[in-house]
Structure 1
Amino acid sequence: MLLRFLRRAAAAAAFLSRPVPLCHRVGMAASVRLQPGPECLFDEPLQVRVSGLSPLQQVTMKAWLSDEKGQLFHSLAFYRADGQGELDLDHSPSLGGHYTGTQPMGLFWSLSPRTPFTRLVKRDVATSLAVHIEVFDGHRSLDQLPVQPLAASINQRWFMKAGVSRIPVREGRVRGTLFIPPGDGPFPGVIDLYGSVGGIVEHRASLLANHGFLTLALGYFGTDDLPKYVTNLDLEYFEEAVNFLRQHPKVNSPGVGAIGISKGGDLVLSMTTFLPHVIAAVSIGGCNANTLGNLHYKNFILPGLGISVEKTKFLESKLIDISEVTTNPMDEGNKDCIIPIEKAEGHFLFVVGEDDKNWSTPLYAQQAVEKLKENGKDNYELISYPEVGHLLEPPYFPFCYASFHLLVGQAVVWGGKMKPHALAQLDVWAKIQTFLQKHLKHQSKL
């Protein structure tokens, strides 16, 4: 009799100790909580927590968004709930998927395009990007996930905070968009330039305005009545934009800053060198020489750096590597293309991805720094990131390893590895703002 009782008790204990499927847990339902809330700015971190799971339950976390063209981006990571059936992505490590380890924003920066070689570009910054966060039972690949998640939530990520004004600019020859922070100012003025993508790219300028910079996202080719191509530019156009920005009543003049990536990187170096009112330049993945065509200023022409098309590398999946196509500025016949930054009175911040596959960014930055040192200058900072590619964007933009290059006419590889690149974007964003504030904030109007 006693033996039978003990057997029944052991069986009952075993039954009660089994992990109970979520759907069988009376009064319990999984939920996703977002802090500080379901809406935030795009460059702000978000705390993601899941509750209502079984103790130690294995789950797949998925994030996805659809961009303005309907292109889908998705990410997933494998997690295990704690003993109370909860997950906190600030502390819980991913066990696999698109990333591993404790990465609170990993679901965001690891978003990958369903269509290969697609880059996420936000054109309409007055609207948000909706990132869907879903939880599924078990560790599963994307094609194994059921239609219905255990829990889901949506994070609306905005590019303009309340009170920021967006004003299209068509003043004289200047074509761009002005972003004015809320308040009376005065604010540091910054011109924002992108590269071969063309048009007016607004997302970085709008995010900078949230942090107290009065920014002008400036187009210089490929839009409106501007040049169709980037092959011949005149610096007087950029000078007109500088003067337009300086004259704004809320700008902390007399000097303004400039930030540029890729072709925009060498343009901001030229602006700081030849235009006295540009006093701080951030060159991201830029060159120390003028590139992609002649740059005219008054009676002076800065030739474009040469290229060697035969150095193009053809990779798998119809990708090409153009990192060695642009010739070395120090080669014979190229030195007239080098921007004489040693003549500048302003300050420079060079940002380098050491795995840049667009061109030899580490070499260009080294040459620029050596030129400044040779001339007794210390008006520069250099930030260099290992395993980082060309397209360094604001924080939490998905890593883009390869995408269509407008000037090349096909997809090119940009370089970098996902996790180091994403962490570099977060790190350098704060350093860019510190640099610009340092050199622009404490000015007096003339």
Structure 2
Amino acid sequence: MLGSNVFGDSDGRFRSDHPSTENGKGPFPGILDTNVFRGGPFELRAALLAKRNFAVLALAFQGYQDLPKRADRFHLEYFEEGIDFLRQQPEVKDQKIGLVSISKSGDLALAMATFLPGISATVWINGCNANTLVPIYYKDICVPPLMFDVKRTKMTPSGFVDIGDVMNDPMSEEGLPSVIPIERASGNFMFIMSEADRNWQSAYYAKLACDRLETHGKNNYELVRYEKAGHFIEVPYMPFCLANFHGVANQVVYFGGEPKAHSEAQLDAWKRILNFFKKHLEATNHNCKSML
């Protein structure tokens, strides 16, 4: 196991605490882990993936230490630097690289998989198929953001704020320039979506992403549906989050789902994520297996 915290420094450089290993010295496949829009590193998921023989960099991208509290743009060069840092570690050298993302970081992961070289597997959990909220830049490319209309906000019968329909349609005339051209990606995708997600229309966005790949003659994806799960499909046994503070809405909002179905979805999704990364990242001759 890679036992240290590995994360982005606030000045844009990266550091590692020289990880110890329970499962040998590797090399192990590398995974870049980005979290929701708050941007800080979510080290629990990274640590659990490390227990399964992956070397994981939980990367902060805003709202952490002296990174901008709220970025007004994202430059993929920053994430590329993180991936390059991960590749250079002796535990990862010459191994395949994967991405795991959720919510807003889902469209960041799609952009990385599309525009950055050498991404072999991307897990997208209840994200969007279009870039949202702030522009993404990479070299001479700019992907404008899909925006929202707060007038579409509703109230649930229980009194929660429901923002599930506020985002503009990616397939509208103004939305199309924000859609990420994932057909250019060389790696594989796993789209995990909840049909009861009320943060935004994850099921619709996942379908659009899969349809786009199929239209371009590609079958490099898996689609996983959970009918009654809510927005935050986290690692197993994390508490069900029906409503919480939303960093963009700046208030407590309703995230949807039913507790039992959501908890079961987290258990099932974790197994699928591990199998997906093993299938697309692990070398066939890698003989170091976790006992857990």
Structure 2 length-normalised TM:
0.91
Residue 434 to residue 245, structure 1, CA distance change in 2 (3 Å): same
Give the SS at the match of 1:257.
Answer: strand
CA 1:335 to 1:429, structure 2 compared with 1: closer, same or farther past 3 Å?
same
Separation of aligned partners in 2, 1:167 and 1:369:
32
1:297 aligns with 2:145: no
- Structure 1 pair 316/198, CA: closer, same or farther in 2 (3 Å)? farther
Matched, 1:279 2:94: no
Identity, % of aligned positions: 44
2 CA distance for matches of 1:394 and 1:243?
A: 26
* Mapped pair 1:166 → 2:5: yes
Paired residue secondary structure (2:122): strand
Does 1:235 pair with 2:79?
A: no
Number of equivalences: 283
For 1:439, the equivalent position in structure 2 comes to 280
Kindly report which structure 2 residues correspond to 1:18-417, keeping only aligned pairs within 5 A, or say none.
Answer: 164-167=3-6, 169-170=8-9, 173-174=12-13, 181-182=21-22, 183-251=24-92, 253-315=94-156, 319-417=160-258
What code does the residue aligned with 1:276 have?
P
Q: Which has the higher contact order (CA 8 A, sep 6+)?
A: 2
Cα distance in 2 between the residues matched to 1:376 and 1:278: 19
* 1:174 to 1:277, Cα distance in 2 relative to 1, 3 A: farther
User: 3-state DSSP class of the match of 2:86?
Assistant: helix
Instruction: State the shift of 1:259 in Å.
Output: 0.3
CA RMSD of aligned residues (A): 2.0
Contact 2:28 2:91 in 1 (8 A): yes
| Structure 1: runs of 5+ lacking an equivalent | 1-160
Higher strand share: 1
Q: Distance in 2 between matches of 1:305 and 1:343?
A: 20
**In the TM superposition, what whole-angstrom CA distance separates every residue of 1:385-428 from its partner, at most 9, and x where no partner exists?**
11011100100111111111122111111111011110010011
Q: In structure 1, how many angstroms separate the alpha carbons of the residues matched to 2:74 and 2:239?
A: 31
Contact 1:180 1:209 in 2 (8 A): no
Does the C-alpha gap of structure 1 residues 169 and 356 become closer, same or farther in structure 2, counting only changes over 3 Å?
closer
Amino acid at match of 1:164: G
Q: Structure 2 unaligned runs (5+)?
A: 286-292
Write the letter of the residue equivalent to 1:431: R
Q: Contact (CA 8 Å) 1:181, 1:212: kept in 2 or not?
A: no
Change (3 A) 1:252 1:419: farther
User: Is the partner of 2:186 in helix, strand or coil?
Assistant: coil
Counterpart of 2:213 in 1: which secondary structure? Answer: helix
Give the superposition deviation at 1:316: 5.2
TM-superposed deviation, 1:188: 1.1
- The alignment partner of 1:266 has SS state of helix
What is the CA–CA distance in structure 1 between the aligned matches of 2:199 and 2:168, rounded to whole Å?
A: 12
* TM-score (normalizing by structure 1): 0.61
SS at match of 1:165: coil
Say if 2:35 and 2:105, in contact at 8 Å, map to a contact too.
yes
> What is the distance in 2 between the residues matched to 1:177 and 1:406?
28
Alignment deviations for residues 88-134 of structure 1 (CA, whole Å, 9 cap, x no partner): xxxxxxxxxxxxxxxxxxxxxxxxxxxxxxxxxxxxxxxxxxxxxxx
2: distance between equivalents of 1:357 and 1:349?
Answer: 21
Structure 1 position 171, deviation (Å):
8.8
CA deviation map 1:163-219 (0-9, x unaligned): 723345539714577766422111110011111233222111111111111100000
**How big is each residue's C-alpha offset from its partner over 1:130-175, in whole Å with a ceiling of 9 and x where there is no partner?**
xxxxxxxxxxxxxxxxxxxxxxxxxxxxxxx7x7233455397145
In 2, the alpha carbon distance for the partners of 1:222 and 1:256 equals 25
C-alpha distance in structure 2 between counterparts of 1:348 and 1:354, whole Å:
19
> Aligned equivalents of 2:157 and 2:39: distance in 1?
27
Higher-Rg structure is: 1
> Contact 1:181/1:210 (CA < 8 Å) preserved in 2?
no
CA distance in 2, matches of 1:291, 1:339: 10
